[in-house]
Chains A and B, each alone.
Chain A
Amino acid sequence: MSDPTSNSPSDRADAPDAVPDTVLAPPISGDQFLMPAPGGSTEGLAAETSEGPQELFRRGETDPSQLRREVGAVLRLPEGVAIDPSNIDIEQTDDETMIINMGPQHPSTHGVLRLMLELDGETVLRTKPVIGYLHTGMEKTAEELTYVQGSTNVTRMDYLAPLHNELVLSLAVEALLGIEMPPRSDWIRMLMVELNRVSSHLMWMATNGMDLGSTSMMIYGFREREMVLAFFEKTTGLRMNHNFIRPGGTAADLPDGWEDDVTVICDTVLARTAEYDELLTGQPLFRQRSEGIGTLSAEEALALSLTGPVLRSTGVPWDLRRAMPYLRYDEVDFDVIVGTYGDNFDRYSIRLNEIRESCRIIRQIVEKMPAGDYRVQDKKVTPPPRGRIDESMEALIHHFKVFTEGFKVPEGEVYVAVESPRGELGCYLVSDGSPKAYRMHIRGPSFVNLQGLPLMMRGGLLADAVAVCSTIDPVMGEVDR
């Protein structure tokens, strides 16, 4: 890992518009590889923003054997497998190609994703996602928090589907505790995560529309999502980072009249999806820009561990809600939406139809919601009801202890996975018998799905790169954690 920045800064120096007048730090002296740019100096900035060997190297600076290996690595496929050897353009020289940065501040990367693209004219040859700009060490933080506090941490990972994060942690803790959940809490959780799936997919519809130039879609998507968020605010008190699904149940029962609210949301969203069909699905411009773009085969998707709509778009009917049911998904009727070609249009249709399927599930939940407790009546896990704290000293002490010391979880390990809007969201939880998690690992679907990007981009146009990146639906909070 010596000489880490020998490749890239000169590329960025080629763009004269991006040159700031002020240099943030004094340039590193004796750096032979930093090229002065016209109109100013970027040495300090280039050195400061360099990610060293994490970046994509220029062809001329890697010998052929290394390049062959790197082509395999960057395409995320083992050497010689699934890639046509003649397709590996090793002979291509640096004069014909150019490495450019997209991001980390690019609006279409949906956060702080940095893509290093090797271009031959308008064609993308190699792509390497450089991530970590939003890394805040949440898995380390989780080791310092009790299980009661844990859901406040994980809810901040995938900020478009916070309830799924809370759900997967809660299920993992409950699996270690070995407690039996009351039916109503399962159904409330299902209602909330399905609404969350609707809001997350609506958000995706909005941003994907914007990436393809349809600002109307962006406004529409946000408009409908607002209805779901308003219901979340009514139920949980917050629009995001709810901390509503907790180990042992949910934080509160559903508000009065929730059936009407939810029915209105379903009716409106279903009616509006018909409008989206008119706006996008049948529109020739949209279809031309999405059909056959960013294709992926089922074998490639499975080899790269892709899950969620990206995997289903290749025709693999894999949905954890159906294949390994959790909560009460085996008691509701819904379809798993699959695609055929694994292209952008399939991924779009899958998400659009999953909104409809989620509405279908939500309607069944409204019918089937049982009465009962919304949290488990296990004194070890659940704090006493608010009313008892005023009259009983023991209840007050108990309440205090649950929220300060937390509760102990038996020693053991468990891996739990749920189907989040982006794919398999897993939680590997290790307990040493104390009230704090010994290790909490979150398997983020976007983190893994990003590995498909180099393959999907390859051979496509730069203008489509934005759309391909969008159809993976990466949420950087979860990628970087």
Chain B
Amino acid sequence: MTVGGTTGIENGDRPVSEAGGGSSRAPGRPGQEVAFTARDQYVDAVAEYRHGGFETCADLCAVDYLTHPGRTLPDGVHPERFEVVVNLLSLSQARRVRLRVQVPESDATVPSLFDLYPGTEAMEREVFDLFGIVFEGHPDMTRILLPEDWEGHPLRKDYGVGRIPVQFKGAPGPR
């Protein structure tokens, strides 16, 4: 489907065989509806879905594609480092749609969906906390899971793992 400047593809962005009675029982496989939208049309596209019967925003998360740049994208979508993924849910139509927005590293900001779906409040804070993507217009853009003085955004792919001592406030340093 095509909605207000979004490039849409049905059934996911890779060929999915829907044959076989057993296999189609995995949820999400039949009809994973994915749409791509540019960042400047993002809020308008979501608003169009909002008025088109998608009553609730089920999920909002981000992916850092730093170490996986060659992912499969439809024509016309320029890959950027970050991708914000919004899962909208229509209860009346029992249908999900997934919107993917490319967010460049140099300007990691996205408009907030708070006015359309207030339920994205905590999810956007989580993405900000773990990825450092700022949601413009969000009423309370603070960290949510990590302490306020935490350095870095752990779910970024260039955030080191394993060798960083756990940060405790006021703890004595290494000997």
List the interface of chain A (C-beta within 8 A of B). 1, 4, 24-25, 44, 47-48, 50-54, 69-70, 72-74, 76-78, 81, 131-132, 135, 137, 139-140, 144, 171-172, 174-175, 178-183, 186, 302-307, 316, 318, 320, 323-328, 410-418, 424, 426, 428, 430, 432, 438-439, 441, 443, 447-448, 450-451, 480-481
- 13 A-B residue pairings within 8 Å (CB atoms): A73-B140, A78-B115, A132-B143, A132-B144, A132-B146, A303-B56, A316-B91, A324-B96, A326-B27, A413-B85, A414-B29, A415-B85, A443-B61
Known: A179-B23, A443-B58. A415 touches B28 (CB 8 A): yes
Q: Is the CB of B119 within 8 A of A51?
A: no
Knowing A52-B149, A76-B118, A451-B122 are in contact, say whether A137-B154 is a contact too (CB < 8 A): yes
**Assuming A54-B142, A326-B25, A439-B64, is B59 touching A428 (CB within 8 A)?**
yes
Residue of B nearest to A130 (CB): B144
Q: Is B17 an interface residue (CB 8 A)?
A: yes
Please state if A171 and B26 are interface contacts (CB–CB under 8 Å). yes
- Does the CB pair B148–A51 fall under 8 Å? yes
Contact between chains at B94 and A323 (CB < 8 Å): yes
Are B26 and A132 touching (Cβ within 8 A)? no
Q: How far, in whole Å, are A325 and B24 apart by their CA atoms in the complex?
A: 11
B74 at the interface (CB under 8 A from A): no
B55 within 8 A of A: yes
Q: Which 10 A-B pairs have the closest CB atoms?
A: A305-B119, A52-B148, A73-B139, A326-B27, A25-B170, A132-B145, A180-B23, A432-B68, A443-B59, A441-B61
Known: A178-B17, A181-B22, A443-B58. Contact between A53 and B142, CB under 8 A?
yes
Rounded to whole angstroms, the CA-CA distance of A448 and B124 in the bound complex is 11
B35-92, CB < 8 A from A: 55-59, 61, 63-64, 67-68, 71-72, 85, 87, 91
As a 0/1 sequence over residues 129 to 144 of chain B, the CB contacts with chain A under 8 angstroms (1 = contact) are: 0100000000110111
Taking CB atoms and an 8 Å cut-off, the chain B residues in 3-29 that contact chain A are 12-14, 16-17, 20, 22-23, 25-29
- The CA-CA distance from A303 to B91 in the complex, in Å, is 12
Chain A nearest CB from B156 CB (Å) reads 10
Q: Given A77-B118, A183-B22, A450-B122, does the pair A175, B29 have CB atoms closer than 8 Å? A: yes
Instruction: State the CA gap A323–B56 with chains docked (Å).
Output: 15
Please determine whether A54 and B143 come into contact, CB atoms closer than 8 angstroms. yes
Q: Knowing A303-B117, A326-B25 touch, does A410 contact B14 (C-beta < 8 A)?
A: yes
* Total residue contacts A-B, CB cutoff 8 A: 180
Residues of B within 8 A of A328 (CB): 25
Interface residue? B32 (CB, 8 A):
yes
Complex CA gap A260/B96 in Å reads: 40
Q: Which of B87, B130, B145 contacts A428 (CB 8 A)?
A: B87
Chain B residues at the A interface, C-beta cutoff of 8 Å: 12-14, 16-17, 20, 22-23, 25-29, 32, 34, 55-59, 61, 63-64, 67-68, 71-72, 85, 87, 91, 94, 96, 98, 114-115, 117-123, 126, 130, 139-140, 142-149, 154-155, 159, 161, 169-170
Judge whether A305 and B117 touch: CB under 8 Å.
Answer: yes
A73:B170 contact, CB within 8 angstroms: no
Separation of A53 and B143 alpha carbons in the complex (Å): 8
Assess the B87–A48 pair: CB atoms within 8 A.
no
The distance from the CB of B76 to the nearest CB of chain A, in whole angstroms, is 18
Give the complex CA separation of A113 and B23 in angstroms.
40
CB pair A412–B12 under 8 Å, yes or no, is yes
| Docked-complex contact B58 and A426, CB < 8 angstroms | yes
Cβ-defined partner of A175 (8 Å) among B28, B117, B126: B28
Residues of A within 8 A of B139 (CB): 69-70, 72-73
Give the shortest distance, in Å, between B141 (CB) and chain A (any CB). Answer: 9
Known: A413-B12, A430-B63. 6 other contacts (CB 8 A): A52-B148, A131-B145, A171-B26, A411-B71, A441-B59, A448-B123
B29 contacts across to A, CB distance below 8 A:
175, 414
Asked if B71 and A180 make an inter-chain contact with CB atoms under 8 angstroms apart, the answer reads no
Please give, as numbers and ranges, the residues of chain A lying within 8 Å of B122 by CB-CB distance.
Answer: 447-448, 450-451
A455, closest chain B residue (CB): B118
**Distance between B65 CB and nearest chain A CB, rounded to angstroms:** 8
Look across to chain A and name the residue whose beta carbon is closest to the beta carbon of B72. A411
